[in-house]
Amino acid sequence: MSVQSFRRESPNAFNAVLAALGFLPFIIFLILGYIATAPLSQAQVLDMVRHRVLPAVVQLRCMDANGDEVQSGSGIYNTDSEGAYVDTNAHVLRAADGKFYGCNVYFPVPDTGGFYQSAYYAGPGSVVLYDQQQSVVDGETIQGIDYAQLQLDGPLADERGRAYPFPPVQVDGYQPMVRACLPYKGTPLEIGSHMYVLGYPGVGDDSLTFTDGVVSGFTGEHGEFIKGSAVAAPGSSGGVTVESETGCFIGFVTSVESDSGGTITQILSGDFITSFLKHLTGVHTYTPEVTAQQGSAGLTNKVELGNISLAYPSDWSVATSTSKTDGTQALYIRSPYEGALDGMAEEMDVWASPMGSTSIEAQARDMFVSAKAVDPDATKTTSTLEGVDIYTIQLVDNTYAYFPEEINTEISYFRYKDRDYEIEIDWPIGSESHAYKTVFDLIMSSIKFR
> Does residue 44 fall inside a structural domain?
no
Domain boundary among 280, 300, 317: 280
Per-residue model confidence as pLDDT tens digits over 197-247: 999 998 767 899 999 999 999 999 888 999 999 888 888 999 999 999 999
Buried-exposed string 217-251: b where 16+ CB fall within 10 A, e elsewhere: ebeeeeebbbbbbbbbbebbbbbbbbbbbbbbbbb
Does residue 142 sit in the same domain as residue 70?
A: yes
354 vs 27, higher pLDDT: 354
The enclosing domain of 110 has a CATH number of 2.40.10.120
Does residue 185 sit in the same domain as residue 319?
A: no
DSSP-assigned beta bridge partners for residue 240: 198, 252
Residue 398: pLDDT band (50, 70, 90) is: low
Does residue 240 sit in the same domain as residue 268?
A: yes
**379 pLDDT exceeds 50?**
yes
| pLDDT at 232 (0 to 100) | 84
For residues 303 and 111, what is the distance between their CA atoms, to the nearest angstrom? 64
> Does residue 350 fall inside a structural domain?
yes
> Does residue 409 fall inside a structural domain?
yes
For residues 442 and 297, what is the distance between their CA atoms, to the nearest angstrom? 10
> Does residue 337 fall inside a structural domain?
yes
Find the domain containing 14 and state its range. 3-37
**8 pLDDT exceeds 60?**
no
Does residue 340 sit in the same domain as residue 415?
A: yes
Q: Residue 122: which H helix or E strand, with range?
A: strand 115-122
The CA angle 314-315-320, to the nearest 5 degrees, is 80
Domain boundary among 249, 280, 311: 280
Does residue 196 sit in the same domain as residue 275?
A: yes
| pLDDT at 3 (0 to 100) | 32
Does residue 360 sit in the same domain as residue 401?
A: yes
